[in-house]
Structure 1
Amino acid sequence: MSQTQLKTAIVTGASSGIGKHSAIALSKAGWNVVLTARRLGHLMDTATLCPGPTLVLAANITDENAVEDIFNKTIEAFGRLDLLFNNAGANAKTVPIESMSLETFQSVINVNVIGTFLATRQAIRIFKTQEPRGGRIINNGSISAHTPRPHTVPYTASKHAITGLTKCTALDGRAFNITCTQIDIGNALTDMATMGSGALQPDGNVKPEATFDVEHVASTIVHIASLPPDVAVLEVVIMAARAPYVGRG
């Protein structure tokens, strides 16, 4: 099968963590995979682990022109788009809101919300005009979209915004064969994870938290991506069984 006959996915934040593992899993499942993030060297490392066709595009997800270029080059290379995994994200140090700078707050919102909006907008434009019409979007939310950790105002606010964006995308895409999922992940063990060494708890203590293998996230992404277009998954919560979530303690 030629690469133009395979399904095509764009994975943002594919240079490390959940994005890297999900991109590799999609490639192993037979997808063309477009890898994008800021760090070209790390993206190339991801590409070497993908057995199928890849397109590596280093870009800043908050740059409108750069995002348009990612999608244009995807269509040039593979002819269509079937999946967008909005995975790129940013966080900030845990500090009380009165000590939070506007610059820090905006930087998290820019990546987590603006970046997701820009990529979603481009994907929707393609999904509505390509034949056959439609496609699927998966947004990386967080269990913080439901229950916050202490002193995480920018991150928690951004992930609550992703919930609204996910629902609007699912609703507005319904008539165009477009589905949208939010995957809320709790304590996947990646090279970016810090929960195992300790996380601030509501009682003020810092305690290690249970983690789980990131490959379970990657396989969930592949499963959702493989569903037929008449099946929608609005929300998935996947987490370590012993991780604090309800009540955060």
Structure 2
Amino acid sequence: MARRPSGIRPAPHHASLGEHVNNTLEGKVVLVTGASSGIGRATALALSKAGARVAVGARRADRLKELAQEAPGEILVLEVDVTDQQSVRDAVEATVDRFGALDALVNNAGVMLSGMILNADTAEWTRMVETNLLGSMYAVHAALPHLLRSKGAVVQISSTSGRISSAASGVYAATKSGINAFAEALRQEVTAEGVRVVVVEPGFVSTELTSHITDPAIQTMAKNMAESMRTLQPEDIAGAVVYALTQPEHVAVNEILIRPTDQTR
């Protein structure tokens, strides 16, 4: 038998995308905010199909009950307002009480009230900051002690607007940029403790998000822009979340930018 020269080790085997050792979420506990529609709903269903026990939170509890009937696994329905710190803390505690742990938080709750800065209704600015940015911060704050114990993960659903701001999306983009900045600081604080932080930045996704826009001209502009391309589907983003969460423990997918092929910026 031929002998290997001294000092030369065999090349390590690197798993392909289909060979991940930890490609299941069986038994893991995940809390998803903003789960009543769109990306949050699709993500909750995808996580359930992957074997996770999922707590779903949103203000529209009736929609969550419908989701629970569709999911293949165990679902905990929670009426949650992410702008209310006590509501968020209660949701986290209810999740841990029900399932005994918390392995991942998916911060998805958000609103997009696009509009020009001149003559803007600043109450809409407040709503976006409180929901998109502060809401995700409150959820992290409440969940983090449990995630440190489980060496879990935080997934922040951001946006391409967090990278590239544009006219009529100044405040929305500011909230998403803030999510990115907060996530990076969080990552630096907890990565040595085994907690992974993932930022997912979707481009145009076919959801009801643009229906939140109150300015008819801006809503029409957003609708026309979406119709000019093959938009992403919520399931595309859900797949990215599942991908990030099913990597081996030593692999941290910190950022996923997903645009429709047809989206130029």
Fold shared, TM-score > 0.5 on shorter chain: yes
Contact 2:204 2:226 survives alignment (8 Å): no
The partner residue of 1:124 within 132, 141, 144 is 144
2:39 and 2:159 map into 1 onto residues whose CA distance is: 12
Who is 2:101 aligned against? 80
Computed over aligned residues only, the root mean square deviation of the Cα atoms, in angstroms, reads 1.9
Distance 1:193 1:200, change over 3 A: closer
- What are the superposed Cα offsets for residues 78-129 of structure 1, whole Å, 9 maximum, x if unpaired? 11111100000011142x212123321111000011100000111211122x
State the shift of 1:158 in Å: 0.2
Contact 1:18 1:87 survives alignment (8 Å): yes
Q: TM-score, normalised by structure 1?
A: 0.87
State the shift of 1:244 in Å: 2.7
Q: TM-score, normalised by structure 2?
A: 0.82
The answer on 1:160 being equivalent to 2:177 is yes
Please, which runs of 5 or more residues in structure 2 have no aligned partner?
A: 1-25, 212-218
Who is 1:28 aligned against? 49
Who is 2:130 aligned against? 110
Contact 2:36 2:63 survives alignment (8 Å): yes
State the shift of 1:214 in Å: 2.4
The answer on 1:40 being equivalent to 2:61 is yes
Please, which runs of 5 or more residues in structure 1 have no aligned partner?
A: none
2:47 and 2:236 map into 1 onto residues whose CA distance is: 13
Contact 1:28 1:50 survives alignment (8 Å): yes
State the shift of 1:191 in Å: 4.3
**How many residue pairs get matched?**
232
The answer on 1:174 being equivalent to 2:191 is yes
Give SS of 2:83's match.
coil
1:7 and 1:185 map into 2 onto residues whose CA distance is: 25
1:113 and 1:58 map into 2 onto residues whose CA distance is: 19
What is the letter of the counterpart of residue 81 of structure 1? L
The answer on 1:49 being equivalent to 2:66 is no
Who is 2:18 aligned against? none
Give SS of 1:85's match.
strand
Who is 1:209 aligned against? 228
Contact 1:84 1:136 survives alignment (8 Å): yes
What is the letter of the counterpart of residue 106 of structure 2? F
Who is 2:221 aligned against? 199
Contact 1:198 1:208 survives alignment (8 Å): no
1:168 and 1:199 map into 2 onto residues whose CA distance is: 35
State the shift of 1:148 in Å: 1.9
| Higher strand proportion (structure 1 or 2) | 1
